[in-house]
Amino acid sequence: MDRWHKLVTRRIGVQVAHQWNHSFWRMRKPYGIGIDSTRIVFDGQKTQYFVDAAQWGRFKQGLRKKLKNKAFIHNFARDAERFLEKQSLRIRIACNADFSSCTDGQLQQEFNHVITMADDYYTRMWMVFLINEPLAQTIYPPLKAKAPDYADEMILAFSSPLTPNDAIRERQSLLRIAMEKNQRRRETLLERHARRFAHIPVFDFNHAPYALDHFQKELTIIQNPQNELDRLQDQFRKRRRDVPWLLSKLKLPKNGLEHAQIRMLSTLAHLRDYRDTLRQKMNLSLRNLYGEIARRARMTLSDVSFLSNDEIRTLLSEPSSRTALRQIAQARKKGFRMLETPHGVTISSGKQKSTTRKNKSIGPIRGICANPGEATGPARIVLTNLDLPKIRLGDVMVAPMTRQDFVPYIRRCAALVTDEGGVTCHAAIIARELDLPCIVGTNVATRVMKNGQKVNVDATRGCVIFQGHKNPKKQ
């Protein structure tokens, strides 16, 4: 067996990798399970995050055991949400200080304090992310047994949020601005809107927030704002009506385990996005702290994101080290490989070979139906958010996974295909909200498909057909 299990593909540097790693260690205190050996590979474009495969197997067993515990099921979402809110607020308050008058030693103390809080934040954040798919997989067999003709529809309904997330609220707000006839009032509303939703793309502190011009451009391409707003509102009203009705049709005992699991899945559908909103706002404040560190070292925020915790401490305690650390950061921008275990951390810098091979486009490829439907268009590979501007109207977005900052570009797409995820992932949920054909969990889509290649996404059957290949029979 391969020693490493690939967990996710993102765009992160050494700083965030540390926080993710340490949060896995800290999980043992609140949850009794954790992982302490990780491997991160950045190839200059994307970062692949691996965990020890044996530890991952034990971790999943621990998750499944917890999903049979009614006390855990009843308390997990509420406790996690409260902790995430409090911890993100503490970090935002700490980071909104004026650090310019701090000595280097004082700034190092602030850094140590903040990253410890961030490690704790990611402990709960990761668990909210990781528990969704095992929960959906636990629920599906009983649904299939009780309602074989409607189990697929039910699992999609139960794993969809009943209230809009921040990306949807931003769209609703922008649609209302588009309907404003008074130009001066419209400009005032848009400026307020830009301040309110600037945080959405800030998934890490070195990611730039939205500026006013982003929303101005989005405003120019809106068509029929009233119709779109009505559709979004009707969709959530229908969902809030349908989910309790579907649950009642199953006739499950209200004090039973299966009923509690379904309610938990529905609650977590909201919490998954809400924890990202809290993280985005937290990262927007973190830019202030890291910005001061970067200013003193004559680095950019991007440079600092490629330094380890110990290297930042050295940077602040030994000013003579800053030239060498700038060179290290520049080398890691080309690539790095990081191994962190209980015995310590090792980082090799410079260009890295990709950890995944490019496969030939032999098609078709298969995955999980996250939202049914069919569409044809040119494939557009989006490895990270840096690739989003290449999306054009009618494209099929092909990504490892999506996030809230992908949403403005997903709206332009005819369909959505991802390597990772299941019916509870962000791509699946946003596809249902936008009613886009969507296939997730293909494992190979970004390696098999090519930019500009015409493909047919048959999400009802869960397959992607390359141009020139015959559509397979429904299985």
Over residues 142-166, the mean pLDDT reads 90
Quickly list DSSP for 14-33.
Answer: HHHHHHHHHHHHHTHHHHS-
Q: Classify 463 as helix, strand or coil.
A: strand
Tens of pLDDT, residue by residue over 175-233, are 999 999 999 999 999 999 999 999 999 999 999 999 999 999 999 999 999 999 999 99
3: its two tokens? 């020693």
Q: Which range has the worst mean pLDDT, 32-36, 172-176, 212-216, 269-273?
A: 269-273
Over residues 56-73, the mean pLDDT reads 96
Question: What's the gap between Cα 385 and its chain centre?
Answer: 11
Over residues 81-98, the mean pLDDT reads 97
Query: Quick check: 361 pLDDT over 80?
Result: no
Over residues 97-104, the mean pLDDT reads 96
pLDDT of amino acid 475: 39
Give CA–CA dist 326/318, Å, rounded.
Answer: 13
pLDDT of amino acid 360: 56
Over residues 237-262, the mean pLDDT reads 91
Write down the domain spans for the chain. 4-136+259-349, 166-251, 365-466
Tell which residue, 345, 283, 316, 295, has the closest CA to residue 114: 283
Whether this prediction's pTM lies above 0.75 is answered by yes
Over residues 110-123, the mean pLDDT reads 96
pLDDT of amino acid 53: 97
Query: Quick check: 358 pLDDT over 60?
Result: no
Comparing 470 with 450, the larger pLDDT belongs to 450
Query: Quick check: 469 pLDDT over 90?
Result: no
List the 344-349 sheet strands across, edge first.
4-10, 47-52, 38-42, 336-341, 344-349
Over residues 160-181, the mean pLDDT reads 94
User: What number of residues does the chain have?
Assistant: 475
Q: Classify 7 as helix, strand or coil.
A: strand
Q: Can you identify the CATH homologous superfamily of domain 365-466?
A: Phosphohistidine domain (3.50.30.10)
Q: Which range has the worst mean pLDDT, 142-151, 164-173, 188-197, 413-422?
A: 142-151
Tens of pLDDT, residue by residue over 408-445, are 999 999 999 999 998 888 899 899 888 899 999 999 99
Tens of pLDDT, residue by residue over 392-417, are 999 999 999 998 889 999 999 999 99
Over residues 357-374, the mean pLDDT reads 78
Helices (H), 207-353: 212-220, 225-249, 257-297, 301-305, 309-317, 322-334
Quote the crossing angle between the two packed helices 225-249 and 151-158, to the nearest 10°.
120
The answer to whether 293 touches 107, Cβ cutoff 8 Å, is: yes
Comparing 112 with 467, the larger pLDDT belongs to 112
470: its two tokens? 């015959």
pLDDT of amino acid 471: 47
Query: Quick check: 364 pLDDT over 90?
Result: no
The answer to whether 133 touches 422, Cβ cutoff 8 Å, is: yes
Quickly list DSSP for 178-247.
Answer: HT---HHHHHHHHHHHHHHHTTTT-SSTTSPPP-HHHHHHHHHT---HHHHHHHHHHHHHHHHHHHHHHH
pLDDT of amino acid 352: 73
Q: Please give the mean pLDDT across all residues of the chain.
A: 92
The answer to whether 148 touches 267, Cβ cutoff 8 Å, is: no
Share of the chain above pLDDT 90, in %: 84
List the 454-458 sheet strands across, edge first.
365-366, 463-466, 454-458, 374-381, 396-399, 415-418, 438-440, 368-371
Give CA–CA dist 323/140, Å, rounded.
Answer: 56
Query: Quick check: 357 pLDDT over 80?
Result: no
Query: Quick check: 40 pLDDT over 70?
Result: yes
Over residues 349-373, the mean pLDDT reads 75
Query: Quick check: 303 pLDDT over 60?
Result: yes
